[in-house]
Structure 1
Amino acid sequence: MELTNKTIIITGASSGIGEATAHKLASHGANVVLMARSEDKLQELQKAITDNGGKAIVATGDVTSKEDFDKGVAAVVKEYGKVDGLINNAGLMPLSFVEKLKTDEWMQMVDVNIKGVLNGVAAVLPELKKNKGGHIINISSMAAHRYFPGGAVYCATKSAVKMFSEGLRQELAPEYGINVTSIEPGAVSTSLTETITDEDVKEMMEGMQEMTTLEAEDIANAIYYSLSQPARVNINDVYIVPSEQK
């Protein structure tokens, strides 16, 4: 779709893939809605976008809170009159080996990586149905395709996102013209790994530092490609990995 004046909500917008995507879509004329918990960072990003001629508003909120999401969508509709798309980007990756029983971290991943996506879809779907069209993009992962050491719970959450995306597509695209895409990156240079507390996993991850990873902008480009297709085209999955990753 043509992105000019299309209103797109981006979760996890304060850094990494979310931040890069906000810049990318705003540069193509979209009204970007910046959602995350860090209001200061969102305001800095908003200023950077508007200083560059783009349009952005801040909707501070926690994706694990259905109430926050509902309030955010209501504010967006009040400001722009509609919602055209959602990018469920917020995610956590505190990898650990199961035997360490870091159950609090397991639950955090379930809450953010799965429930956060569900909350987002529930909040925007009534608006997209009113529009008789739109686009939902969920950030899954290469981890949805294969397990890697320390990633049992993380891989499970991203597998859930991938399958939920396919269910959404089959239910929504033919009936309501709402396209759905699962973006599935491999290793990306972001702050995701900073949440890892398992020392054994940290040591293992150090061995990956020699590999040239993807940049957040690469994923933003994939998101833009998926969004910018004609309404008749649904990009189901974008599986994008570094050239050096096996």
Structure 2
Amino acid sequence: MLPLHGKIVAITGASGGIGEATARLLAQRGAAVVLAARRSERIDAVAHDIREEGGRAATCVVDVTRAEDLQRLVATTIDRYGRIDVLVNNAGIAPISPLADFDTASWSAMIDVNLRGMLHGVAAALPVFREQGSGHLVSIVSVAGLYGASPAMAVYAATKNAVRTVHEGLRTESTDGVVRTTAISPGYTRTDLANSMTDPHIRERIRKNMDAVSIPPAAVARAVAFAIEQPDDVEIGEINVRPTAQA
């Protein structure tokens, strides 16, 4: 039997990068997946591929800045598969810039997607997890949230560190064994995250770093699978996944 046979997993930001890789890997390991993102044509194509390979996959168009969209994602997952075992909060953006640029619109966007989007997922899934008697919240964070912020990354790092703090708070409130939490922090990963960076010089610098030192999205997906595959009495609270050569 496949290691994730019977697991039902919803994944935000599943139209590419880490989210797509996670959906494909979990489906290969036996999970039924619901892919959520704003780009319907992309998640539909990925779900089609999964089904063509014998897996189970559905889709739901979601903007994580809208609380009602996360509620609909959870409801869609339950309607399709009868329950939701895992919610993977993966959607994120990084329009980074120096604080002195006063790009307040980008600051708000990162707070809305990276932090508030994750909180919308908590609000949608947690009541269902408690009603079911089990559930697992996994969030893709970033090594940027582990240390002092690098130049131009102060607000981005702050949102990611805030997600880690929320995870720790939820963990301390969930010692009854019902809800598990896992925060996964990738380093440089070959995704299109740089596309959300509005400063052309910073975008080019990040892309060069990714070209020189990065890991494939599948490496992060394997960390997600590892956390989910643990028995119910084992919680993998945090995993850092970075290129061996990353400083």
Q: Do the two structures share a fold, i.e. TM-score over 0.5?
A: yes
Aligned AA for 1:171? E
Show the counterpart of 2:98.
97
Provide closer, same or farther for how the CA distance between residues 206 and 43 of structure 1 changes in structure 2, counting only shifts above 3 A: closer
Q: Percent identity?
A: 38
Show the counterpart of 2:153.
151
Which whole-Å deviations, capped at 9, do the CAs of 1:42-86 have from their partners, x for residues lacking one?
Answer: 110110000000000011111111111112211221111111110
Equivalent residues in 2 for 1:199-210 (5 A)? 199-205=200-206, 207-209=208-210
Show the counterpart of 2:81.
80
CA distance in 2, matches of 1:206, 1:71: 35
Show the counterpart of 1:111.
112
User: What secondary structure sits across from 1:169 in the alignment?
Assistant: helix
Show the counterpart of 1:127.
128
Q: How far has the Cα of 1:28 moved from its partner? A: 1.0
CA distance in 2, matches of 1:104, 1:148: 20
Which stretches in structure 1 are left out of the alignment for 5+ residues?
Answer: none
Provide closer, same or farther for how the CA distance between residues 149 and 60 of structure 1 changes in structure 2, counting only shifts above 3 A: same
CA distance in 1, matches of 2:112, 2:204: 26
Provide closer, same or farther for how the CA distance between residues 85 and 210 of structure 1 changes in structure 2, counting only shifts above 3 A: closer
Show the counterpart of 2:36.
35
Provide closer, same or farther for how the CA distance between residues 223 and 209 of structure 1 changes in structure 2, counting only shifts above 3 A: closer
Show the counterpart of 1:171.
173
CA distance in 2, matches of 1:2, 1:52: 17
Show the counterpart of 1:16.
17
Report how many aligned residue pairs link the two structures.
245
Show the counterpart of 2:234.
233
CA RMSD of aligned residues (A): 1.5
User: What secondary structure sits across from 1:62 in the alignment?
Assistant: coil
CA distance in 2, matches of 1:206, 1:18: 19
Q: Structure 1 runs of 4+ off > 3 angstroms?
A: none
Q: How far has the Cα of 1:199 moved from its partner? A: 3.2
Which stretches in structure 2 are left out of the alignment for 5+ residues?
Answer: none
CA distance in 2, matches of 1:16, 1:200: 22
Provide closer, same or farther for how the CA distance between residues 209 and 231 of structure 1 changes in structure 2, counting only shifts above 3 A: closer
User: What secondary structure sits across from 1:233 in the alignment?
Assistant: coil
CA distance in 2, matches of 1:100, 1:198: 10
Calculate the TM-score normalised by the size of structure 1: 0.96
Check conservation: 2:190, 2:210, Cα contact below 8 A: no
1:53 maps to 2:51: no
Q: How far has the Cα of 1:177 moved from its partner? A: 2.2
Aligned AA for 2:142? S
Provide closer, same or farther for how the CA distance between residues 127 and 107 of structure 1 changes in structure 2, counting only shifts above 3 A: same
Provide closer, same or farther for how the CA distance between residues 209 and 133 of structure 1 changes in structure 2, counting only shifts above 3 A: closer
CA distance in 2, matches of 1:79, 1:102: 41
